[in-house]
Structure 1
């Protein structure tokens, strides 16, 4: 069965804002439509770096590109509070991802600071 009748990101953001007590959400990617939908909602957003991108983001230049493409266009209108680097990286135990996890986190933190974004935590 295919779930093709899902609500739009803006409908979801509006529902969370008006019909729930949630004040934060976590998304497992950096979908621009979702990030735009939460703009000016007051809802904090945690975005997730996909596991496969971890090794490349250990490079500061790549981390800057990632921040410029995935955070800067939406911040501060979208209240991005955290960047989660990967999902269950240690549990999956893929050496290239595990070995680059901390360097990627450090590079992303440097990239955020370089972009003048100081209140998004990695």
Structure 2
């Protein structure tokens, strides 16, 4: 059986039916609970957990998340598409990793002339409007 969303093969017995679509487990979970970058409870929880673990900066992030952070720091502000292209990420992979950076208050989105850009948390955007990612 093939997932109707990502076209990957689904092992027998692991398919999930959602609104008429046969999905793999990853796509099913994505449909039920998409990443939320602007989540006050997640930010509070991440900050508290990092503080209790003595983590600062990129401590505790995956290698990919550290690489994304460093890319934003070196090249930023950047678009989500630039990050997706640089690291060969799907939109959902980008969103999940960015959500982690956002919840840890390491990266943030802002609008510049209608275009959404991503910057390192706390960097000046010369009066541009920060957005609820």
TM-score (norm 2): 0.29
**Structure number, greater radius of gyration:** 2
Quick one: higher RCO (CA 8 Å, sep 6+), 1 or 2?
Answer: 1
TM (norm. structure 1) is: 0.30
